[in-house]
A and B are shown apart, each in its own frame.
Chain A
């Protein structure tokens, strides 16, 4: 999390190997400062993507403390919020993503059975 807080930026550098290939998944994680929840969310997300979407994703972290004006665009209310920009339709997962199953359901990587 060394880029953080800072400009909205892709974390491709951290995942250079996967980023170079197909980027069908475009994910954006909204956080507000370096809080426990934010850090947990980012780490959970990264782990999940590496496991389920190797080489097919791109994560952008937006720190609203630095760029408050960006909260409006994606209708951010809760923090942290993960937004699946691509593929459509837009999906949102809020929380620290600690429940991997639910996160996968939220990202529609797994059909919701319940």
Chain B
């Protein structure tokens, strides 16, 4: 995990705790060879933290440990930590972990004169030497104040004990009960000054959350926030995710939403990988259906998807999605999909966040769906929810994991308002809303925003069909977007108009054809007439020529008879005959 903690190499030598998340906030673990104080009220997990430190040291880092318990017997302790999977007996057999129960029963003790706690030193020293321990836990040494009355002796002896532990070079964890107005009831923090960790177990609205804070850590830059932590089947895990910040890489890869026409609206390629997507809308609008499409598309690509269902159980979700033709069961069987269904009110926000964090780390999904985030408001206040979502989104972004949230909005007027706070965290926001028009309630969808891509500004109607979500074409009428049966009516109207237009065209085409035919017939008739006239004219010309010729002959005959010179006149007659022949051609 990317984190901005300083490297532990430059500061004090550290003893790794092996506890998930704790090494990150402490920059590598507890100060090696020094005592660390863990304080907190009853039942906040001090003993478990101390025990896990020893067990992990013994099993993971080859550092045997001694657990000096003042409150529980060895057997009780063994049983208590067995639930975390720690087998103390086995570790004891391997000489990796010794548990010594130190019991001081006040009722059977009388004090007289001077004494010291050398007995305790000897016991501890003997235990350390027996297994070559590198780690020691004292839980809770303050119990001695209840067993022995001479506080002055106890104080000086405790001071000596902590110095002695340092001299021994063991990394010690000392637990202390939280006192009135100070960290521990008997002021152990005065003696243990290198590292102090406070645990807290707070209850708000009947929901409890465990938190951890580093009060001080000499010589180390450490996270100063309160970090939620969980106690689970395999130990403690702390969430160091408050300090992630805006340092994540932005991917240019695009992934499909699983609804092709929605992809088309989002610049044709879907959303960016690693971005955060919010689908908000009123009850029953189809948010989960959209989410299921996202999940289906992710699994189809062979990527893992983690689905947090806060409203429906796994089987209910699967059944409901089957009704719209989305069968997610094969993905579950293939291990690509995991559905985690819990009630939001089951735990506090921090615990939810810790659980999300842990599951994401375990399953390593490429898409995380939280359906819906609004239910978290029931487990915390608005600002807490917001802080939690910021952390969740930062965490997912740092992992390049795409996040999909659904959000239930109430009423239509405050739709945008109610989520304004979340808005800034969201990259792509799809708004689903009811469109009430013509006595119907229909489903409309538009992209409120989508950072870094061209996207459609249209309001689209969508249907939940047995083939999933279908986006329909847009019909804009005088009253806005037409949906439902009004859209169907509009579609029918448009079709009727189209048919009408087609018929008109055909009619006109026929008309024109008829006109052309008429025109052609007329042309033929006129031509025939013309030809007839021409023919007539030719005949006339021929007759005329014949007449003229006979007249010339008659004249020549006359001239011959009169012996006249006729040369010029016969030439002019010849040219006239040629001109007539040209016109006829």
Residues in A lying within 8 Å of B, measured CB to CB: 30, 32, 37, 40-41, 44, 64-65, 68-69, 71-72, 75-81, 89-99, 102-103, 105-107
Q: Find out whether the CB atom of A94 lies under 8 angstroms from the CB atom of B115.
A: yes
Give the residue of A30, A44, A75, A90 whose beta carbon is less than 8 angstroms from that of B104: A75
- Residue contact A92 to B108, C-beta cutoff 8 Å: yes
Q: Which of A69, A72, A98, A107 has the most CB of B within 10 A?
A: A72
Contact of B110 with A78 in the complex, beta carbons under 8 Å: no
- Given A37-B116, A78-B115, A80-B115, residue A92 in contact with residue B126 (CB < 8 A): no
In the complex the two chains form, what is the Cα distance from A32 to B115 in whole Å?
11
Contact across chains for A98 and B112 when beta carbons are under 8 A apart:
yes
- 6 nearest CB pairs, A to B: A106-B110, A68-B126, A95-B113, A98-B113, A96-B113, A79-B118
B109 and A94 form a contact (CB under 8 A):
yes
Check A78–B122 contact: CB distance below 8 A: no
Q: Is the CB of B112 within 8 A of A32?
A: no
Rounded to whole angstroms, the CA-CA distance of A31 and B124 in the bound complex is 16
Given contacts A72-B100, A77-B120, contact A96 B126 (CB under 8 A): no
Is B102 an interface residue, CB under 8 A from the partner? yes
- Chain A contacts of B158 at CB under 8 A? none
CB neighbours (8 Å) of B100 from chain A are 72
In the assembled complex, how far is the CB of residue A64 from the closest CB belonging to chain B, in whole angstroms?
A: 5
How many residue pairs bridge A and B at CB < 8 Å?
102
Q: Which chain B residue shows the least CB distance to A105?
A: B110
Contact A102 B111 (CB under 8 A): yes
- Listed in ascending order, the chain B residues whose CB lies under 8 Å from chain A are 100, 102-105, 108-120, 122-123, 125-126, 144, 147-148
Are B123 and A68 within 8 A (Cβ)? yes
Expressed in whole angstroms, the Cα–Cα distance for A32 and B110 within the complex equals: 19
Q: Contacts A72-B100, A75-B102: A40 and B113 contacting too (C-beta < 8 A)?
A: yes
Known: A32-B118, A78-B117, A79-B116. A95 touches B111 (CB 8 A): yes
CB closest chain-B residue, reference A80: B115
Is there an interface contact between A78 and B119, defined as CB atoms closer than 8 Å? yes
| Nearest chain A CB to B107 CB, angstrom units | 10
**Which A residues are CB-close (under 8 A) to B122?**
32, 64-65, 68, 71, 76, 79
**B114 cross-chain contacts in A, Cβ below 8 A:** 37, 95-96, 98
Which of chain B's residues have a CB closer than 8 A to the CB of A89? Answer: 108
**B113 lies within 8 A of A99 (CB):** yes
| Most chain A C-beta atoms within 10 Å of own C-beta, residue among B102, B105, B113, B125 | B113
Asked, given contacts A65-B122, A72-B123, whether A97 binds B113 with beta carbons under 8 Å apart, the answer is yes
Chain A nearest Cβ from B150, distance in angstroms: 9
Structural contact, B112 and A103, CB atoms closer than 8 A: yes
Q: Is the CB of B119 within 8 A of A71?
A: yes
Residues of A within 8 A of B112 (CB): 93-99, 102-103, 106
Give the shortest distance, in Å, between B81 (CB) and chain A (any CB). Answer: 21
**Contact, CB under 8 Å: A77 / B102:** yes
Instruction: Give bound CA distance, A106 to B108, whole Å.
Output: 8
> How long is the Cα–Cα vector from A3 to B120 in the complex, in angstroms?
24
Bound-state CA distance A77–B117 (Å) is: 6
Closest A residue to B157 by beta carbon equals A78
Interface centre among A41, A64, A65 (most CB of B within 10 A): A64
In Å, the complex CA distance between A33 and B170 comes to 24
The 12 listed contacts between A and B (C-beta, < 8 Å) are: A37-B114, A37-B115, A71-B119, A75-B102, A75-B103, A77-B123, A79-B122, A92-B109, A93-B111, A95-B112, A98-B112, A105-B110
Question: Can you name the residue of chain A whose Cβ is closest to the Cβ of B106?
Answer: A92
Give the complex CA separation of A41 and B102 in angstroms: 23
- Smallest CB–CB gap between A109 and chain B, Å? 11
Query: Given the complex, which residues of B lie within 8 Å of A92, measured CB to CB?
Result: 108-110
Instruction: Give the distance in Å from the alpha carbon of A69 to the alpha carbon of B119 in the complex.
Output: 11
Which residues on B sit within 8 Å (CB–CB) of A94?
109-112, 115, 148
Measured in the bound complex, the distance between the Cα atoms of B105 and A28 in whole Å is 17
